Amino acid sequence: MKAVIQRVKSASVTVEDVVAGRIGQGIMVLLGVEKGDSEARADWLAEKIAGLRIFSDQQGKMNLSVRDIGGALLVVSQFTLAGNCSKGKRPSFDSAAPPDEGQRLYEYFVGAAKRLGLPVETGIFQADMQVELVNDGPVTFVLER
């Protein structure tokens, strides 16, 4: 399971000109599910993101988590994170989970984040989405488990 997370001042995802999810300050999560991923990996990732101290305290140090600031998550499925670009010019998606398993674990991850008490907004699985965000910093991390 891979996630690209970005600290944001705001973020939204739109599908067919309708806003599917929108947050203010928090974390934009682009989530990729791969073959062999599990609920345990999703739980670990949700806990990691919830507790990751990437927001600035009063001294300007990254010392606060999304929980500490009362922020939210915007979680968008991103199967292209499983893309392998090492050979040729066309990415291979052999390591991506099949769509039904990808959706199940994506939804499980969203539920895990909610069970941690985080406000969570989402995109729509397998939809053509337009994502807008104001990256704060910019601060971006790649997490894998």
What amino acid positions are annotated as catalytic residues?
78-80
Q: 67: helix, coil or strand?
A: coil
**Residue 145 near residue 41, CB atoms below 8 Å:** yes
Q: CA torsion angle for 3, 32, 75, 59 (degrees, to 10)?
A: 0
Q: 99: helix, coil or strand?
A: helix
Distances in Å between the Cα of 135 and the Cα atoms of 10, 24, 26 are 8, 11, 10
